[in-house]
Chain A
Amino acid sequence: MVLSPNDKTNVKGIFGKIGGHAEEYGAEALERMFAAYPQTKTYFPHFDLGKGSAQVKAHGKKVAAALVEAANHIDDIAGALSKLSDLHAQKLRVDPVNFKLLGQCFLVVIACHNPSLLTPEVHASLDKFLCAVGTVLTAKYR
């Protein structure tokens, strides 16, 4: 799936408006994912997954930073996330189905905190972008 010029504008726009909240949104998306899809916790046996966990906050920050990086290099997401793609293929090996789950939760977080920003058009673009990121991160799996 290809991101149109409009999609890219929408994605850059929404990340621009979210600004500094991205890190907090990353953490909340993870928290929601662990609550709604408990099987995703199996990838974090080494984490404290309790409410307010510092590890979840830190990890959320990392996830958000990667999304911001991808948005900032939206013409070459594969290039921007190449190292992360290697990491997921060789070490983390998170089953591809889980990227959609995290994507859903990220959309829910944005909907909760910025409903007016998540117009149907922006929703569509952001969903496509999150799919594209998931595709890049699993591209080298086999």
Chain B
Amino acid sequence: MVHWSAEEKQLIASVWGKVNVEECGAEALARLLIVYPWTQRFFSNFGNLSSPTAIIGNPKVRAHGKKVLTSFGDAIKNLDNIKGTYSKLSELHCDKLHVDPENFRLLGDILVIVLASHFGRDFTPACQSAWQKLVSVVAHALARKYH
């Protein structure tokens, strides 16, 4: 089980409380597809991903981004059992979606950058540290059921 200090929990909750899940999720996924274009391999049925503008405006990207970040909310509500929270999703990503877990790490890093751009100076080093830990734990949990 991952140990979270009281400070880490507070930093995570305080940022999450101010996050617009739909906007941030959409932006994080769009940036993933733009910055690491090979990640588009998982979204061949999303329609037009031919340019950054197309990706940002793509309604399927927005919807999926929102879905992914909403799921992050589940981790935050269950910081003491992220493994359990993501057990089924881990199986899904392995067995049905066939996603290389490296992609979870890439998305996690992008999410941190998106949060930094929204929160500016309030996204202190301590805040970043807590969130880097969170995205790393989530990535690890999502990879855990792979076989």
The docked-state distance in angstroms from the alpha carbon of A31 to that of B129 is 11
A interface residue count range (under 10 / 10 to 19 / 20 to 34 / 35 or more): 20 to 34
> A120 with B56: in contact, given A36-B125, A112-B120, A115-B120 (CB under 8 Å)?
yes
State whether the Cβ of A121 lies closer than 8 Å to any Cβ in chain B. yes
Decide if the interface of chain B is mainly helix, strand, loop or mixed: helix
Cβ contact of A112, chosen from B35, B117, B129, cutoff 8 A: B117
Using a Cβ cutoff of 8 Å, how many contacts connect chains A and B?
61
Q: Which residues of B contact A107 (CB under 8 A)?
A: 113
Decide if the interface of chain A is mainly helix, strand, loop or mixed: helix
Question: Nearest chain-A residue to B116 (Cβ)?
Answer: A111
Taking Cβ atoms with an 8 Å cutoff, the residues of A that contact B are: 28, 31-32, 35-37, 104-105, 107-109, 111-113, 115, 118, 120-121, 123-124, 127
**Can you name 28 A-B residue pairings with CB atoms under 8 Å?**
A31-B125, A32-B125, A32-B128, A32-B129, A35-B126, A35-B129, A36-B125, A36-B129, A36-B132, A36-B133, A104-B109, A108-B113, A108-B116, A108-B123, A109-B116, A111-B114, A111-B116, A112-B119, A112-B120, A112-B121, A115-B118, A120-B30, A120-B52, A120-B56, A123-B31, A123-B35, A124-B34, A124-B35
